[in-house]
Chain A
Amino acid sequence: MPIICPLPDLSKDVITLGHGGGGLLTHQLLHNGVFAELTNPYLDQQHDGASFELYGRTAFSTDSYVVDPLFFPGGDIGELAVNGTVNDLAMCGAMARYLSLSFIIEEGLSIAELQRVIQSIRRAATLAHVQIVTGDTKVVQRGKGDKLFINTSGIGSIHPRAEIHHRRIRPGDRLVLSGRLAAHGTAILSVRKGLEFETAVCSDTVALGATVSKLLDKWGTHIKFMRDPTRGGLASVLNEIAELTAYGYFIRQDSIPIDDQVEGACEMLGLDPLYVANEGIFLAVVDKEIAEEFAAMLQAESTGRHAAIIGEVGEEYRGKVVLRSRVGGRRIVGYLPGEQLPRIC
């Protein structure tokens, strides 16, 4: 049967926003376009940062920040740029020590706004006990950027007791989520031009280094793996580790902490909170024996008050993520195909 219906021509395809959404398109772009070309043992771990020996075990990570609008409820691009890279290092079991900071500024940005961002960077760096030690500034013509892009790279020493690697995950391990889901992405959407709605939802952006360090002090190698579910959300992180480990990841909807307002806003916008970005929570895969105490310890931290055990790793459903819905049905949670688009009605 001839296929006359329009199929996109892959050779002519261009980058769309979906390629940056953290879902399936991002995954394909990274695997076919980046990892395949630039393969090496560090990159091939596909973790939030690379870990290597450099006068001791060291983690190194980089991230770029392109949020619109620059200032949003609960934070701004500057705070995000510090916390994001600090958290990527924390997910490797490292406390960030030094950050680099690069601005790409679009002609026309007010200096007052830039100053606000820089002040916010200073505050966030102080809170995260990290120093900004090098940087760069570029200005591009009006229309060639979106006000302000920031890149930060960070380096830090890996905790002596940390052994964070997806290869250490085993069936029976528990999945612990450190806080409520989907606050950041929802807060951003609530102030995006054309989509504004009234809500008290704030971004959850916060540095997780100190919390993770305490957890590692106590639990060491019982913590198998950590990842912060930023763009692409919890579903993307779970799918990535399901694919890497070839185990099944089973989660219970009624155990996943989420704020009522966030859930309501997602409902209204037609978004699945499992795919919405977070900036202040992480998923930890831990030994079954310690899961309860681990979650309890997190709950005592200001960054982990709503922590909960949301599911477990198993031999069933290999390579897949399966959710038990509140009403008891089961379904597969797949990768997000492209960008999550607000729905029509």
Chain B
Amino acid sequence: MKYLTEYRDPQQVSEVLKQLASIVTREWTLMEVCGGQTHSLVRNGLLDMLPSRITMVHGPGCPVCVTPASILDEAVALAMRPDVILCSFGDMLRVPGTEKSLLQAKAEGADVRILYSPLEAVRLAVENPSRQVVFLAVGFETTAPANALSVIQASKLGISNYSILASHVLVPPAMEAILADPDCVVDGFLAAGHVCAIMGTDEYGPIAEKYRVPIVVTGFEPLDLVQGIYMTVAQLEKGEHRVENQYARSVQRTGNTMAMGSIREVFTVSDRSWRGLGLIPNSGHEVKEQYAAYNARLRFGLSTTAVENDGGCISGQIMKGLKKPRQCPFFGTSCKPEHPMGAPMVSSEGACAAYFQYAAESAISE
């Protein structure tokens, strides 16, 4: 892991923090888009090392958090069918649907499997020809290529018992939705490094221009994060609003063209409902008609009407940066990781769970 340790060097982190402190002249609110960044900031105790004038708010980039309950309900309904093997990434299992989570369905006897790759699900379909294998295909631009590949592979192999329940979401439309909100408090963005590794950085230029907001593509290690914050603040202090790339070791402007190719082959851009944020136009991926045979929604005749009701959960305000997890009346009381009310408390990358699990230094004395 030598390529990681150098980005965890305490001296370098402290050096950048010193430089940062020397250029800050006023209060700035920055949003890290990706849940992985939130997790790293909290887990490494970085939030309390930042100058007090800098406030980090935690964006919508946790796929587990933004997947609407209706999709979970569809997944649970499919999983409860005896002919179905429902496959999912691990951390989707605890997310509450309207009535239950996939983990509860599993405890009640549903065949739910945790996989790392949808290609494993295709293999499972080959091994279990008498059953229907469904992959819960959620996530951002990072997970879309592999999910698309699984459909392409199933199609090439002529497999008829594999399908995906797609609920893919896209980062740039969500950033726009946050910026367009009249209550928006975000002065600058740390864009999600891994999403940009797939999609490149071209999509962000128009957003930076339109909303006059600096966007710095940032990695996930402590040094990445403090550098990303430094670069964003440096722009803000100079009144600039450009797209910059802190994570150049992984991200090229043009992105990963092969990955983008497989996304375009299988998916088409569609409107998508986000948990907490509501319906955002052109913010997701749906399986193309050409691959309709692999669309679990069509195969099992699922209804796509999404009625979201998150009741007391303020996840929307948290993901827009309007509120911090601790400002939620339910945080740590009715809503805990073992009994989440909303998704940000479920995934380790959800802002609420990160706060609950790793409580920053300022909270230690509470």
Write the chain A residue with the least CB distance to B48.
A329
- Do A194 and B115 touch (CB < 8 A)? yes
Q: How large is the interface on A (under 10, 10 to 19, 20 to 34, 35 or more residues)?
A: 35 or more
A6–B97 Cα distance when bound, in Å, is 7
Interface residues of A (CB under 8 A from B): 1-8, 14-18, 24-25, 28, 194-195, 197, 260, 263-264, 267, 269-270, 272, 317, 320, 322-334, 337-338, 341-345
Write the chain B residue with the least CB distance to A265.
B1
- What B residues does A270 contact at CB under 8 A? 90-91, 348
List 15 contacting pairs A-B, 8 Å CB cutoff, sorted by A.
Answer: A2-B311, A4-B312, A6-B96, A6-B98, A6-B100, A7-B341, A25-B338, A194-B115, A326-B8, A328-B45, A331-B358, A333-B358, A337-B337, A344-B91, A345-B63
- Tell me the chain B residues, 60-88 only, with Cβ under 8 Å from chain A: 63-64, 69, 87
Report the count of interface residues on B (CB-CB < 8 A): 75
Report the minimal beta-carbon distance from A266 to chain B, rounded to whole angstroms. 10
Report which of A7, A15, A331 forms a contact with B107, defined as CB distance below 8 A. Answer: A15
Write the chain B residue with the least CB distance to A332.
B359
- Do A344 and B358 touch (CB < 8 A)? no
A10–B336 Cα distance when bound, in Å, is 14
Report the minimal beta-carbon distance from A236 to chain B, rounded to whole angstroms. 13
- What B residues does A269 contact at CB under 8 A? 116
B108 at the interface (CB under 8 A from A): yes
Q: A194-B120, A331-B43 are in contact. Are A6 and B90 (CB under 8 A)?
A: no
Q: A267-B1, A343-B349 are in contact. Are A4 and B116 (CB under 8 A)?
A: no
A326–B43 Cα distance when bound, in Å, is 11
Interface residues of B (CB under 8 A from A): 1, 4, 8-10, 13-14, 36, 42-49, 63-64, 69, 87, 89-94, 96-100, 103-104, 106-108, 113-116, 120, 124, 138-140, 142-143, 194, 222-223, 309-313, 329-330, 334, 336-339, 341-342, 347-349, 356-361, 363-364
- Do B347 and A194 touch (CB < 8 A)? no
- Do B341 and A5 touch (CB < 8 A)? yes
- Do B115 and A327 touch (CB < 8 A)? no
Report the minimal beta-carbon distance from A330 to chain B, rounded to whole angstroms. 5
A204–B312 Cα distance when bound, in Å, is 46
Main secondary structure of the interface of A (DSSP, over half): loop
- What A residues does B100 contact at CB under 8 A? 6, 8
Other A-B contacts than A264-B1, A325-B45, A343-B348, 6 sampled, CB-CB below 8 A, are A1-B329, A327-B49, A341-B90, A343-B349, A344-B138, A344-B139
Q: A5-B313, A7-B341, A8-B339 are in contact. Are A14 and B364 (CB under 8 A)?
A: no
- What A residues does B44 contact at CB under 8 A? 325-327, 329, 331
- What A residues does B99 contact at CB under 8 A? 6
- Do A326 and B10 touch (CB < 8 A)? yes
- What B residues does A322 contact at CB under 8 A? 364
Write the chain B residue with the least CB distance to A4.
B311
- Do B8 and A8 touch (CB < 8 A)? no
A334–B353 Cα distance when bound, in Å, is 11
- What B residues does A326 contact at CB under 8 A? 8, 10, 44, 222
- Do B311 and A330 touch (CB < 8 A)? no
- Do A341 and B93 touch (CB < 8 A)? yes
A2–B329 Cα distance when bound, in Å, is 12
- Do B69 and A317 touch (CB < 8 A)? no
